[in-house]
Amino acid sequence: MTRTLPIHTVAMALLLTCVVGVHAQDEDAAGKGSDPDRPATELAELKAGTSLVVKDPETGEVRQVEGVSGEVLKVLQEQARLRKKTQLYELHQLEVSGNTKAGIVTLKAVLDIDILVSDQWVDVPAGLQEFQLTRITHTQKPEDGDAILDKEKLPVKNWLLKGKGRHQLELKLIGETRVSQNGRRRLRIDAPDATISHLTLIPEGAVESAELSTKKPFRIQRAEDSSVATLETWGLDKDTELLWTPALTTQTVATVQTSGPATMELDFSAYSLTITQPLVISGGSIDHLNVRMPDGFLRVSVSGSNAETTEIVETPEDSDSPINRIEFTAPVTGPIELKYDFPLEQTSALQELTVSQPDIVEVPNESATLDVFVPVGMEVEIDRPDLGYVRHKPVETGRDSRTAVFGFRLLSTRAKLTLRVKATEAIYSVVPQIELQTEQSNLVMTARFAIRLIRGSLTEIPVNWPQYETSGWQILQGDVRLIEGEDPRPLAGLNIESGTLTLPERMSGLFEIEFQAIQPLPEGGTLQFHLPDIPSSGPHSAFVALVDSDVFSMSVKGPEDELFPLIPAGRLPHAPEGENDLLTVHLVDAVVEPLQLTMTPQTSETRVSVATSIDILQGSLHVSQVMR
């Protein structure tokens, strides 16, 4: 007996069991039945009129369903589409840039990938199968994120990513361009599907014409006064292919010249030699320069920019060769600017330094101007071995009254200056001011040291605070400041354990150091502690200011209960904000001895002043009182 089921029952059975078969399927389709997602996929591919078989979930009976209408099939296909598995990732953005040289393509691809699930490895295809990897960097990831390249599938580039959130992969790749018989170049970029994608390519040499295989946006940008072209497109996919025809031009060699003398600054305040070198490239483009660096410097940092202030220098690798090869991120032409930064060794001992300018092998007739900045506290002797290549030049007024400036012209890369530098012994005075006050349940110390350099200069200052680690005091992060005039600057170089405070630059003249420390109010109202101090060239006293509150009054004495002399609050270099009648100032001579602080709870007290006036007006006696 045959039982007929309504069509909605058939649809429900299809959706609940997901047991769907194509009545006449080929052998290849039959081999995919082990895939759990295959029934939904086949259902989505069915056309109206295809025969279906359905298994009744109640009876287990399998029947054939004939003549499914197109309307019902659309409903079933939509339900099958909704049954697809949850999206695990999204390729948010793909940025590809590169250039070609001698038929070789070098690319940099940056992929921004959002992983949408937690605690699960997600397989992400990255495309670009026709290129070989040369460097991989996982530049950004969530806190618990990780990335693994599935090497078993190479050259297919599949990544296993873990960690919900934004991942960023930076890939360096290399490949080849294809050349047609007519000389046309072709480059295929099989890119993965991304929400946002962009490609820029700089072909070698001049480009006569170019086009894109797809219908996506495309343009050619040509640099002014140059034959260099940039090909640019958006919306990349697996079929993206660039085609271009090189222009037929006579062979030219790019020339590199200076557009002016290099600017050199030797600064003994910042302990650095910085050099800025302007260049002009004409007649073509170059992808590197060979530079012979000055002798006597252990390290150098090189950067560069073009006329649009875009960074153009690749990070150079360490090399023992006397000639450094400076690689550019892409072939460059037109005006560029190179910058060198040579750090100097900070030492108070006698140091001999020979200064010359970098020598670019490809550039003739290089020259430079050199300014030498010498702060107070430094002694510098300058020798000019060869007067034929070195000249004095006028200089502007120094940066400030504490810095001397010497100016020279170096007429050739052979020009050298020898400097003998030594820091003079620093002699300075210190006036400490220690302020103690309560804030809620804490005791707060503000230490301020006025430092006056009598001779020499300082790059670091000794700091002495006995028993700091066991006293309970804690210096608040970000509360160490250098005060020079009205401009306070935060300091990060205070190390109580080693007893040093590193200054951001060589200091001279008058400046102040201030920091705050905190600890809970002592039990029993008594605390024995040492004062922080900056040792000076001679003995000094400290001002200790106690600020009473409505809750506590404070007093201080020495280890043998000796009392310290009181001084007027107006004698303080920096009086705390608040009422002077709540402030007690002591002059402490022996800053190396421990002090004993006593905190006494305030007794409630009411003070009233009464003003009375008596007047007689029109035979009446009027009495008026004002109480405060």
Give the pLDDT confidence score for residue 66 in this predicted structure.
65
Minimum mean pLDDT among 68-82, 232-246, 467-481: which range?
A: 68-82
Distances in Å between the Cα of 210 and the Cα atoms of 99, 101, 201, 202 are 15, 17, 11, 12
d(C-alpha 291, C-alpha 301), whole Å = 13
Query: In whole angstroms, what is the distance from residue 112 CA to residue 167 CA?
Result: 6
What is the DSSP pairing of strand 146-149 with strand 158-162?
antiparallel
Predicted pLDDT at 137: 87
Average pLDDT over residues 113-131: 87
pLDDT tens digits along 128-154:
888 888 888 887 788 878 888 887 777
Residue 365 token pair: 């007739």
- Please state which of the four CATH numbers 1.10.3470, 3.30.390, 2.60.40, 1.10.8 is assigned to the domain occupying 427-601: 2.60.40
What is the pLDDT confidence band of residue 23, given thresholds at 50, 70 and 90? very low
Q: Report whether 520 contacts 441 (CB < 8 A).
A: yes
**Quick one: pLDDT band at residue 234, thresholds 50, 70, 90?**
very high
356/34: higher pLDDT = 356
Same CATH topology for 89-246 and 427-601?
yes
The domain made up of 89-246 is a member of CATH 2.60.40.1730: yes
pLDDT at position 275: 93
| Lowest mean pLDDT segment, chosen from 19-23, 136-140, 184-188, 224-228 | 19-23
The answer on pLDDT for 33 being more than 60 is no
Q: What is the pLDDT of residue 2?
A: 41
Tens digits of per-residue pLDDT, 521-533? 988 888 888 899 9
Per-domain residue ranges of the chain? 7-82, 89-246, 255-422, 427-601
When pLDDT is cut at 50, 70 and 90, the band that residue 449 belongs to is very high
pLDDT, the chain, mean: 80
- What is the distance between the alpha carbons of residues 447 and 516, in angstroms, rounded to a whole number? 6
Q: Higher confidence at residue 244 or residue 399?
A: 244
Average pLDDT rounded to a whole number, residues 47-62: 62
Q: Tokens 């290849």 sit at which residue?
A: 28
In the predicted structure, residue 292 carries a pLDDT above the cut 70? yes
- What's the confidence (pLDDT) of residue 454? 87
Q: Which of 33-42, 81-90, 330-339 has the highest mean pLDDT?
A: 330-339
Burial grade of 606 (CB within 10 A; 0-12, 13-18, 19 or more): exposed
Task: Name the least confident of 73-87, 189-203, 282-296, 453-467.
Answer: 73-87
- The band of 580, judged by pLDDT with boundaries at 50, 70 and 90, is low
E strands present in 47-203: 52-55, 62-65, 89-101, 104-115, 122-125, 132-140, 146-149, 158-162, 165-176, 178-179, 185-189, 196-202
Tokens 């006449």 correspond to 24
Tokens of 44: 């989505």
pLDDT surpasses 70 at 41: no
Residue recorded with tokens 């979930």: 57
CA distances from 27 to 22, 24, 376, 440 (A): 12, 10, 90, 83
Question: H or E element: which one contains 71?
Answer: helix 70-82
Give CATH for domain 255-422.
2.60.40
**pLDDT tens readout for residues 507-550:** 888 899 999 999 999 888 888 888 999 988 778 889 999 988 87
* pTM exceeding the 0.85 threshold for the entire prediction: no
Nearest-CA neighbor of 341 among 395, 384, 304?
304
Contacts of 376 (CB under 8 A, 6+ apart): 402, 403, 453, 456, 457, 508, 509
Quote the CA–CA distance of 501 and 494 in Å, as a whole number.
4
Which element (helix H / strand E) includes 7?
Answer: helix 7-17
The set of residues, in sequence order, having a beta carbon less than 8 Å from that of 322 and lying 6+ positions away, is 292, 293
Residue 59, pLDDT above cutoff 90: no
